[in-house]
Amino acid sequence: MTTVYLDHAATTPMLPAAVEALSAQLVRTGNPSSLHASGRHARRIVEESRERIAQALNCRPGEVIFTSGGTEADNLALKGIHWSRGRSRILSTSIEHHAVLDPLHWLDEHEHADVELLPVDELGRLDTDALRTSIERDPDSISLISVMWANNEVGTLQPIDEVVALAATHGIPVHTDAVQAIGAVPVDFATSGVDALTLTGHKVGGPFGVGALVVRRELEVTPLVHGGGQERDIRSGTIDAPAIVGFAAAVEASVKDQADQHVRISALRDQLVDRVRAIVPDVIRSGDPDHGLPGHAHLRFPGCEGDSLLMLLDARGIECSTGSACNAGVPQASHVLLAMGCSDAEARGSLRFSLGHTTTQADVDALVDAIGPVVERARAAGSRKGA
Amino acid sequence: MRVLAAMSGGVDSAVAAARAVEAGHDVTGIHLALSRNPKSYRSGARGCCTIEDSNDARRAADVIGIPFYVWDMSEEFHDNVVEDFMSEYAAGRTPNPCLRCNEKIKFAAVLDRALALGFDAVVTGHYAQLATGHEGMIEMPRSVAMGKAQSYGHGVLTQDQLAHSLFPLGDSVKDDVRVEAERRDLMVAHKPDSHDICFIADGDNAGWLKEKLGDRAPNDSGDIVDHATGEILGQHEGTTAYTIGQRKGLKIGRPAPDGKPRFVLDIEPVSGTVTVGPRAELRIDRIEAIRARWCGTVPSRLEGTVQLRAHGEEHRAIVTTDGTDVFIDLIDPAEGIAPGQAAVIYDGTRVVGSATISSTARVGVAAG
């Protein structure tokens, strides 16, 4: 059975350039912090990678702090900036990834931070009026504002420009989790005006276990991890040269191809949505159809359980996601959909298809062929009560 | 067949799934999440609700090489099993939540969903055998693994449920299953068996009930009285801590006049009275039971045996029924039978059905 992979938002296959760069470095010896020739060579590879990423994102090389991935970068931004600024409030949105929400809950519970999660509209877009009101209530009390660039479940792009404009009036730093956005939509760090930005390797065709926080030099960040003083003393730990060079190759390639891939992938995505709707007329698409990620198709199937649909598609070799957070493997209604005004049952009856650089017309055809009988079966199995 | 293997994270269900694969079935593994928040019912301890169990089940499925999913049955479990457990105790009865779970969750909600999704049967790690009896009826002989006493737990299954059940452990015994698990590289080979009620963290049923029932508890104190004299012997902190036949935890300072231990004979939740007396008073020979579930043909009168506890012995009995209510005349009297428990009825080695005990009486046996 061939695999039809429509879950690129979970992770996307590594790009050949990334595999090649990583493999080449894996067999070389050298700790980038060592002073001898092997160390110097590794150091050069890491610094060149930093420069390539800086070039791709339009930031300064010194602003790139390598981390173990998106979750660590988010934690570093939120805790590190909150601690260094020492104010009481943190503003964010109700649709952030758990890598943002959970550190915020932790800061709220353990550090007495006053966390405010601002609402979104039915398309999943931040209510900037609510943000303005919240800021203006007491701007001096705010440590930072964190708003994701694009939502990972429904794909809605957030009004980062407006967030930055509102924050800038009061000199409040802005962090954005851009894990889903890099390589999918144009992201320009300097022009955007954000102060800190999270990205991760495996979402852009790079390896797992590596990511970065891009953070303005002027902004002080209290470290979470103490040790050998690597990464400007902000993130200690032996530098993973092979992962970093693979990561840089992927960022560079995905950003370079972004515009072309956007056209190609969004056309396939639109076709997928249209053809599924022709077969299942009552399907509902979540998210902002005009301001969204190119590869996301988040669909709600009334009367179905998302996990039934997923299982039935999986049995046919079609891989997607229920787009819901997993707690110990227990499917929970997505906090994103609940924040967008869905009921618990509506939220559970959804699937996220996410297309990416390896997606082909044949993948879309395979899904379209399968979806009718799958939805019919899932409907027969029904949704749980309350649906 | 396309079959769904319910995997608890224990050794039995893992080996059952592996045997189903070996038998040539197309097997998909599922783990039932019975608590929305796995920590709210049970944390750290052994049970079927922990994250560790879910991970153990997933790991076993990976080793066997089958797809694996977690099914959220927490609402169904709470409504049908946990709520029933609480309300039965509040009414002075002693429910059996495991039977209730078999009846309402494992062989009902799960099976229904499996069939709708295109599966042909559900596989479980129960030690039960199925055989085709007269007129093509599916019969369930008592399991060889009497130690597990699981045919008691299957008295609730109907013909339709049995027709869509696979019990690959059949006549195996536990020790062999553990050896087989080891041979199959299943990490759960030496995982201890679960004994307690899975949703009660530390086996402290009384403490759990007190906390969860709160204002719904029928009483929070009352008298412990002597069955013969009516004398108040002591006080208790709520009748839900007691079950018929209980000896421990009565906290009566004075010994009985004859020096013999006292047992709980009756629980009256409205007045909050717990009646105690000597062991002989526990002997009963007549049982009325409700909510009958038949595994096949409904017998109007049967001379067979009944089992009144999960690990209890069989009692010879004459069983009659009007279809819904069941009347059991015990030839061998029983002791300490609590309303709420199940009576499972056998014809020889065949499981006939079960019913929930509603009342007990003494007709032919004399006290003492």
User: What's the pLDDT tens digit per position in B337-367?
Assistant: 999 999 999 888 888 889 999 999 988 765 5
Sign of the CA dihedral running A377, A379, A384, A385: negative
Kindly report the number of other CB atoms within 10 A of residue B229's CB atom: 10
Query: How far apart are the C-alpha atoms of A154 and A70, rounded to whole Å?
Result: 19
As a whole number, mean pLDDT of residues A115-129 equals 98
Q: What is the pLDDT of residues A270-297, one digit of tens each?
A: 999 999 999 999 999 999 999 999 999 9
pLDDT 10s digits, A38-53 = 999 999 999 999 999 9
Q: What are phi and psi for residue B320, nearest 5 degrees?
A: -125, 155
- Sorting pLDDT into bands at 50, 70 and 90, what band is B36? low
Within an 8 Å CB–CB cutoff, is residue A376 touching chain B?
no
Banded pLDDT at B47 (limits 50, 70, 90): very low
8 A C-beta contact, residue A144 and residue A174: yes
Query: B67, A311: Cβ pair inside 8 Å?
Result: yes
pLDDT at position A224, please?
A: 97
Helix (H, G, I), strand (E, B) or coil at B26: strand
Per the model's pLDDT, the better-predicted residue between A214 and B346 turns out to be A214
B198 given a catalytic annotation? yes
Can you list the domains of chain B with their CATH numbers? Answer: 2-125+168-190 (3.40.50.620), 218-277 (2.30.30.280), 281-361 (2.40.30.10)
A117 at interface of B, judged by CB pairs closer than 8 A: no
- Residue B62, chain A, CB below 8 Å: the answer is no
B207 to chain A, any CB pair closer than 8 A? The answer is no
**For position B296, what pLDDT does the model report?**
83
Q: Find which of A213-217, A333-337, B262-266 is predicted with most confidence, using mean pLDDT.
A: A213-217
Calpha distance B147→B149 (Å, rounded):
5
Contacts of B113 in chain A (CB under 8 A): 308, 381-382
Task: Give the residue with greater pLDDT, B53 vs A22.
Answer: A22
What per-residue confidence (pLDDT) applies to B38? 52
Q: Is residue A342 among the annotated active site residues? A: no
Q: For chain A, what is the mean pLDDT?
A: 95
Which residue of chain A is at minimal alpha-carbon distance from B4?
Answer: A311
3-class state of residue B240 by DSSP? helix
Distances (CA, A) of A171 to A140, B57, B346: 9, 51, 79
Task: Please indicate whether residue B248 or residue B223 has the higher confidence score (pLDDT).
Answer: B223
- Taking the model in full, what pTM does it have? 0.86
**Distance to chain B for A314, nearest Cα, Å:** 9
> Of A335-344, B18-27, B58-67, B245-254, which range is least confident?
B245-254
Contacts of A48 (CB under 8 A, 6+ apart): A245, A248
In chain A, positions 205-244, which contact chain B (CB-CB < 8 Å)?
none
Structural domains in chain A, CATH included, are 4-12+257-381 (3.90.1150.10), 16-256 (3.40.640.10)
Give the separation between CA A219 and CA A76, rounded to whole angstroms: 13
**Does A255 contact B at CB distance below 8 Å?**
no
pLDDT band at B210 (very low <50, low <70, confident <90, very high): confident
Q: Which of A330, A383, A384 is the best residue to mutate to test the B interface, defined by the most B CB atoms within 10 Å of its own CB?
A: A330
- Region of poorest pLDDT, from A25-39, A102-116, B78-92, B135-149: B135-149
Q: Taking the CA of residue B198 as centre, how many other CA atoms within 13 Å lie in the half-sphere pointing to its CB?
A: 26
Nearest by CB to A307, from B69, B75, B116: name it: B69
| Chain segment B159-201, per-residue pLDDT in tens | 899 999 999 998 788 899 999 999 999 988 888 877 678 888 6
| Cβ-contact A22, A246 below 8 angstroms | yes
Section A309-338 average pLDDT = 82
What does the pLDDT read at residue B253? Answer: 72
Asked if residue A261 has pLDDT above 90, the reply is yes
Beta carbons within 8 Å of B214's beta carbon, 6+ residues apart: none
Mean pLDDT on A194-207: 98
Where residue B40 falls among pLDDT bands split at 50, 70, 90?
A: very low
